[in-house]
Structure 1
Amino acid sequence: MRRIHLLLLACLAIFVTAYGQKTTRVNAVKANDYGIVYSLPKTSFEIKLLVKKTTYQRGDFYQYAQRYLGIEKPITESKSVYSVEDIKVANKGIADKTNSFMIEFRSNTLEPYVYLREDGVICSVNAQPEQATAQEMEVPPSTVPSSNPHRFFSEEILLAGSTAKQAELVSKQILQLRRSSNDILTGEAESMPPDGNAYKVVMEELNNQEKALTELFAGSVHTEYFIHAVSLTPDEKNITRKVVARFSEKLGPLDKDNLAGAPLYLSLESKTPKVDLPLSEKDRDRLEKKLTEGLVYNIPGKALLTIELNERKQSLDVDVVQYGTQDVLVKKMFDNFKQPIKVIFYPELGAIKQIIQ
């Protein structure tokens, strides 16, 4: 077969994903008068923030950290701090129900069919749709909190009459754990682990106990990551520094109307010149007829998208359906009943990726 590459759109700087939508094959048969209704998508941007939450937990004995363990700067205040580690923009390509059409096939063509997404957006004609590879934002693993230190308290520590006495006894227990670890490492322990596996288990337990008890003086730091997403569907106009969300170091991601956070701005500037040609009534009728009889597809426009948050600013080139135009593959292209033409779309854009005939 001869392959014709009609459009190779540059969506290099954004995620283009199928968002897990299933596709369904719809056959053009007598029951539906050989006509299949489909929708074209419009661009909807999803801004994803990779957020890091760092939790600082003050230890019960922080006031005695320097005295008993020589820790110069223990954590003295329990708090959580949020930061944005990465920002990505994804084109969701949502169905535009105001742009729904019907493609009609001749009754004698060879088993014509169309693949549609669950929302009715066209994916392909007379061909299997290509499987989009979802490029998800990678979320780093969170740190594992230490064991509860109180479970390692001896009876003497539990019965101590004051916090100061408890701190003194716990510090001694920490020093004893360190001596035990050192004796095993140097082979001077009275009872050495019998084999390598036992050695590993014993050393891990000693280290875990020491870490958990030491955090009663030094404090602990725990980090976790999560993704916060907000969406925006542009119209045909440019967008200048629109607040789409807010972010606070103390509270994390916030709604755009919550003034407790710094604004996350989105700007979108069309790079596709608008050409307004006056059409006569005859030309308009001809265009309407053309759109109703063939296979309509999008030709997205180009735009510059900019995201700003505090001192952070990043720009990227994107394809925007709303800034573009539409065109039609004429109906007679699909009338070959021996070797039906195949059309594969970019489902998120409604643009033709490939024509095979």
Structure 2
Amino acid sequence: MRAKYFILPLLLIISYCAFAQKTTRVNAIKANDYGVVYSLPKTSFVVEFLVKKTTYQKGDFYPYAQRYLAVDNPVTENRVVHTLEGIEVINKGIPDKTNSFMVEFRSRTIEPFVYLREDGLIAAINAEPEDETVPKLIIPASETASENPRRYFSQETLMAGSTAKQAELVARQIFDLRRNRNDILSGEAVNMPPDGNAYNVVMQEINRQEKALTELFSGSVTTEYFTVTYQIIPETGNINREVLARFSEKLGPLDADNLAGEPIYFSLVRKTPEVTMQLSDRDLQRLESKLTQGVVYNIPGKGELTIEFGNRTLKSIEVDVVQFGSQDVLVKQMFDNNKQPIKVYFYPELGAIKQIIQ
């Protein structure tokens, strides 16, 4: 039978920090019959791609780039290029509506309490949970476009009757800026900056004007970085190279059903053998009773996660998958010690036990 799964596109430019949820302490008191309801998670995978958008803009004088400035490879057409620069995969637990339970304490237990996340997943019992460490892609700084170069045109350039004449006059202006900078650097300028601050201001202005005017010949290249995120919720079977999303050099990241881009494949192979048990009605009843008489927790299985694009592997890692595992129970009697209450720490994203302190 083919495994069922879900691919849910999320909003663009989402930081993983949004997944670090707050926790709330819930006391087990007489008003709630000394019980706290919690949920166990099922595994989802949040896949985040770092995308670089490079915009090439030709300059008005690009035909004269070689003649006046010796620029061999000016930008000759306007175009946008997208590239995949990075990928991050986070194992994110989401509440499983079919796995909600109650932690029950005896009335004589000293001030028992449970920490729950905002989504109801259990984080700790009789202890304050530890801070979650969340992976996050680092987004590089973008390179913005230069100022409008025409604001630096002289009156003679603005009145020139042809593009060729304007290009010649702007080239002269660029060489004048370079000569002024060299004169200042060598200390031979007629009007030297009086101090260090003035020197920095003058040099920055010269460099800014030169860059803006030069791009009229060479063209401009600007870069912008952003992230796009997708979420996959597997079930108990394998996922074999299903299309997670698509990617186009011209259009960037696209939905899985948009054939304008090349496919990005997602695979998940179960590594933990699936155990099938033939239980009698009596044994099944005992198992169900066991799951109602203590603290139920997950024992995740293992899987091999692979993401491929363009005949290369972007990511290949071993992951924990709740749907590939099983469940067990901490017996109720473990929490009856009044002198030294037992502390239990969980991995909230997995519903698995991290540490037990007696």
1:244 aligns with 2:244: yes
CA distance in 1, matches of 2:106, 2:307: 48
Give the fraction of aligned pairs with identical amino acids, expressed as a percent. Answer: 67
Aligned with 1:93: secondary structure?
strand
Q: Which residue of 1 aligns with 2:12?
A: none
Q: Which residue of 2 aligns with 1:264?
A: 264
Aligned with 2:178: secondary structure?
helix
TM-score by length of 1: 0.94
Q: Which residue of 2 aligns with 1:69?
A: 69
Q: Which residue of 1 aligns with 2:293?
A: 293
CA distance in 1, matches of 2:335, 2:18: 27
Aligned partners of 2:293 and 2:332 also within 8 Å: yes
1:135 aligns with 2:135: yes
More deviation in 258-267 or 157-166? 157-166
Aligned with 2:305: secondary structure?
strand
Task: Call closer, same or farther: CA 1:249–1:305 in 2, change over 3 Å.
Answer: same
Q: Which residue of 1 aligns with 2:8?
A: none
- Give the Å deviation of 1:261: 0.5
More deviation in 255-264 or 136-145? 136-145
Letter of the structure 2 residue corresponding to residue 312 of structure 1:
R
Q: Which residue of 2 aligns with 1:31?
A: 31
- Give the Å deviation of 1:133: 2.0
1:91 aligns with 2:84: no
CA distance in 2, matches of 1:261, 1:92: 27
Q: Which residue of 2 aligns with 1:3?
A: none
Deviations 1:249-272 (A, max 9, x none): 110000000000010100000000
Q: Which residue of 1 aligns with 2:6?
A: none
Q: How does 1:213-252 map to 2 (within 5 A)?
A: 213-252=213-252
Aligned partners of 1:39 and 1:121 also within 8 Å: yes
CA distance in 2, matches of 1:284, 1:93: 28
Q: Which residue of 2 aligns with 1:43?
A: 43
- Give the Å deviation of 1:335: 1.1
Deviations 1:197-232 (A, max 9, x none): 211111111011001100000001111111111110
Unaligned runs of 5+ in 1: 1-15
Deviations 1:141-174 (A, max 9, x none): 1113222211111122122222222111111111
Deviations 1:78-117 (A, max 9, x none): 1110000111111111111111011111001011110001
CA distance in 1, matches of 2:206, 2:78: 27
Aligned partners of 2:88 and 2:135 also within 8 Å: no
Aligned partners of 1:46 and 1:232 also within 8 Å: yes
CA distance in 2, matches of 1:292, 1:163: 84
Aligned partners of 2:53 and 2:225 also within 8 Å: yes
Q: Which residue of 2 aligns with 1:181?
A: 181
TM-score by length of 2: 0.93
Letter of the structure 1 residue corresponding to residue 127 of structure 2:
A
CA distance in 2, matches of 1:244, 1:18: 22
Q: Which residue of 2 aligns with 1:339?
A: 340
- Give the Å deviation of 1:17: 7.7
Aligned partners of 2:90 and 2:135 also within 8 Å: no
Aligned partners of 1:17 and 1:132 also within 8 Å: no
- Give the Å deviation of 1:18: 7.9
Aligned partners of 1:18 and 1:348 also within 8 Å: no
Q: Which residue of 2 aligns with 1:351?
A: 352
Q: Which residue of 1 aligns with 2:156?
A: 156
Aligned with 1:192: secondary structure?
coil
- Give the Å deviation of 1:337: 1.7
* Count of aligned positions: 342
CA distance in 1, matches of 2:257, 2:144: 34
Q: Which residue of 2 aligns with 1:144?
A: 144
Structure 1 vs Structure 2 CA RMSD: 1.2
Q: Which residue of 2 aligns with 1:11?
A: none
CA distance in 2, matches of 1:97, 1:159: 73
Aligned partners of 1:18 and 1:132 also within 8 Å: no
CA distance in 2, matches of 1:192, 1:247: 53
Aligned partners of 1:145 and 1:222 also within 8 Å: yes
CA distance in 2, matches of 1:159, 1:334: 89
Letter of the structure 2 residue corresponding to residue 353 of structure 1:
K
Aligned with 1:336: secondary structure?
coil
Letter of the structure 2 residue corresponding to residue 321 of structure 1:
V
Letter of the structure 1 residue corresponding to residue 220 of structure 2:
S
Q: Which residue of 2 aligns with 1:323?
A: 324
Letter of the structure 1 residue corresponding to residue 165 of structure 2:
K
CA distance in 2, matches of 1:17, 1:167: 50
Aligned partners of 1:109 and 1:338 also within 8 Å: no
Aligned with 1:44: secondary structure?
strand
Deviations 1:54-88 (A, max 9, x none): 11110011111111111111100111100001111
Task: Call closer, same or farther: CA 1:18–1:55 in 2, change over 3 Å.
Answer: closer
Letter of the structure 2 residue corresponding to residue 80 of structure 1:
V
Kindly report structure 1 stretches of 4+ aligned residues shifted beyond 4 Å: none
Aligned with 2:291: secondary structure?
helix
Task: Call closer, same or farther: CA 1:114–1:328 in 2, change over 3 Å.
Answer: same
Letter of the structure 2 residue corresponding to residue 319 of structure 1:
D
- Give the Å deviation of 1:134: 2.2
